[in-house]
Amino acid sequence: MGEIKESPTARPPSFEKGSVLDADAAKLAEMGYTQDMQRHFSVWSVLGVGFSVTNSWFGISAGLVTGINSGGPVLIIYGIIIICFVSICVGISLSELASAMPNSGGQYFWANELAPKKYANFASYLTGWFAWAGAMFTSASIALADATALVGCWQLAHPDL
């Protein structure tokens, strides 16, 4: 596992703007990959994709209901600060891994590469399952929050029932 095979159709890294070698293509070539697609993402487009994927405002508003019911304003204020700090730490760690070992596999690939060889396959397998479970629970919580919001809107329109 983790061995990179040279593809029979491998091409040298692409050159852009005359004779200047693209640094990303050179790094990928060192790892045995070829850059087939060009990346033209700005900071705003990456932030836009991240915002749309995480659905931040809706997720935060759905989570605030639980915080208000179980801990009140103190939990919400300090909870947001703590979770923000933890999320920043996770984001920095993942960005470092992505810059050091770019791969479309993401976390399960990194778990396989960084774990001791004895546990590498199990760590990769477990990471993949946790990612799947997280996606399922996130989808379920958004569906529950949508349903709760719809019921609340219906109750506002029909206060006598």
Separation between Cα atoms, residue 33 and residue 7, nearest integer Å: 8
pLDDT tens digits for range 93-143: 988 988 888 888 888 899 999 999 999 999 999 999 998 998 888 788 778
* In-domain check, residue 79: yes
Residues in the chain: 161
Q: Specify whether 122 is located in the same domain as 94.
A: no
Separation between Cα atoms, residue 113 and residue 101, nearest integer Å: 9
* In-domain check, residue 63: no
Q: Specify whether 89 is located in the same domain as 111.
A: no
Q: Specify whether 17 is located in the same domain as 43.
A: yes
Cα torsion for 134, 46, 25, 107, to the nearest 10°?
A: -10
Give pLDDT, residue 53. 67
Structure tokens at 96: 């470092």
Q: Which helix (H) or strand (E) holds 20?
A: strand 20-21
Q: Specify whether 158 is located in the same domain as 113.
A: yes
Integer CA distances (angstroms), 33 to 39, 86, 144, in order: 15, 33, 43
Give pLDDT, residue 143. 82
Q: Which amino acid is present at 144?
A: L
* In-domain check, residue 128: yes
* In-domain check, residue 21: yes
Q: Specify whether 94 is located in the same domain as 113.
A: no
Q: Which helix (H) or strand (E) holds 32?
A: none
* In-domain check, residue 88: yes
152 and 159 in contact (C-beta within 8 Å)?
Answer: no
Name the band, by pLDDT with cuts 50, 70 and 90, for residue 57: low
Q: Specify whether 89 is located in the same domain as 110.
A: no
> Quick check: pTM over 0.85?
no
Q: Which amino acid is present at 67?
A: G
pLDDT tens digits for range 126-139: 999 998 998 888 78
**Range(s) of the domain holding residue 88:** 71-100
